[in-house]
Amino acid sequence: MNRCIRRSAAALLATFFLPAAFAACDIEIAAGDNLAFDKNVIEVDAGCETITVTLTHTGTLPREAMGHNWVLSRTADYADLGTAGMSAGIEASYLPPGDERVIAATEVIGGGETAEVSFSLEGLDPEGDYTFFCSFPGHFAIMQGQFRIVDNG
Ligand code: ZN
């Protein structure tokens, strides 16, 4: 009994204190059958060697109808990328192929699917202004948020 209680307390501590104290290198984000990510801001630690973002589509619609992906770019580039990506097609994840403005991107997924992308922060400016978004046609204007690199020392 005591053990159970202690374990729950530890879980609570982890839930409430870990994200603030250390940085997240592994990010989970979800989106359903509406145009919304469940996060508006993602913070990662500047010290992370690798960032892994796992996107889960919690809806039921197929990717052709309500596909989502997770794309990272500089804030100055995301609207242009979103616009250019519309004509790139689903197999290209609605992104211009080989476009260097794309820092990281998952494939486009539908309901019940998950996708993952790992990347390094090398070359990114900790003071820089970055935006994550979904490049499915018509989604980027709403499905987007801030990506911040936080130096926790
Ligand atoms: Zn989307």
CA of 26 to the centre of ligand 1 (A): 21
Considering its fold, how many domains does the chain have in total?
1
pLDDT digits (tens, 9 = 90+) for 105-143: 999 999 999 999 999 999 999 999 999 999 999 999 999
CA of 63 to the centre of ligand 1 (A): 9
On whether residue 5 sits in a domain, the answer given is no
Q: Which two tokens stand for residue 69?
A: 């992906």
pLDDT at residue 28 is higher than 50: yes
Q: What does the alpha-carbon distance between residue 15 and residue 12 come to, in Å, rounded to a whole number? A: 5
Tell me how far apart the alpha carbons of residues 11 and 27 are, in angstroms, rounded to a whole number.
Answer: 18
Centre of ligand 1 from the C-alpha of residue 14, in Å: 31
pLDDT digits (tens, 9 = 90+) for 72-112: 999 999 999 999 999 999 999 999 999 999 999 999 999 99
CB 52 within 8 A of CB 118: yes
CATH number of the domain that residue 104 is part of: 2.60.40.420
Asked if residue 6 is part of any domain, the answer here is no
Reported pTM: 0.84
Pairing assessment for the beta strands 144-150 and 41-45 based on DSSP bridges: parallel
Q: Which amino acid is at 21?
A: A
84 in a structural domain: yes
> Could you tell me which of 53, 56, 55 has the C-alpha nearest to residue 120?
53
CA distance 136 to 63: 9
- Residue 130: give the domain boundaries: 23-150
Q: Would 11 be classed as within a structural domain? A: no
